[in-house]
Structure formats: C-alpha cells, structure tokens
Amino acid sequence: KQWYQRRVAITAGIFGMFRHMYRTEGVLSMWRGNAVNVAKIMPEQALRFFLFEYLNETAAHFFPQLIQEHPTSFKFVCGGGTGLIIQAAMYPWEIVKTRRMTSNMGVF
C-alpha cells in the first residue's frame, strides 16, 4: 500500500494525489486526523502561555538581578523551558494524530 501511495504522489503531483484521495476515500479524506489536531491545539496554546508567564514570574522572584542585566537571555531561557515542557506534555497527542491520519478509514 505504501509503495502505491508513494508512486501516485511522485508520478501524479499534488493535484493527482488530491484526485486519487477523492476517488478512493471521498472528500472527508482531506481532513482525516484534523479533529485530533484541533482538540490538541487549544490546550497546548493555553498551557504554553501559562507556563511561559509562570516561568518568567518564578525565575524573576529567584533571580531579579539577572532580569535587569540580561532580559533577552532570560526570556530566551524561559521560552526554551516552556518548549521542552510543552513538547513532553503534547507528544502523546502527536502520536494519536499521526496514527489517526495514517490509518485506514474507520480503523484506529
């Protein structure tokens, strides 16, 4: 199955692939797995904003002089910490989304 999909994608281009998807699985195949993605985005963004602000305030409490001397570096480190936590927390959602998008219709 994967060989055929690669062959169609390589030989027919993007419009040929859309045509193939529409003919074999219908118009809903264009949005397969999107519901999981939409369900993942809202809590991910809310958690991202909360964590960045929380890390900023917490670190500012413990390292007030560092903020005054290196404000850009401080925000960069807080953003990096936020990204690490978010990636670890949201990775299971990515697995669900990927499996949903690559599974056959009606199979999960």
Question: Is pLDDT above 90 for 14?
Answer: no
The type of residue at 39 is A
Taking residues 52-56, report their average pLDDT: 93
Nearest by Cα to 37 from 95, 82, 107: 95
pTM to 2 decimal places: 0.61
Helix (H/G/I), strand (E/B), else coil: 14: helix
Instruction: Please indicate whether residue 12 or residue 68 has the higher confidence score (pLDDT).
Output: 68
User: Per-residue confidence at 51, pLDDT binned at 50, 70, 90?
Assistant: very high
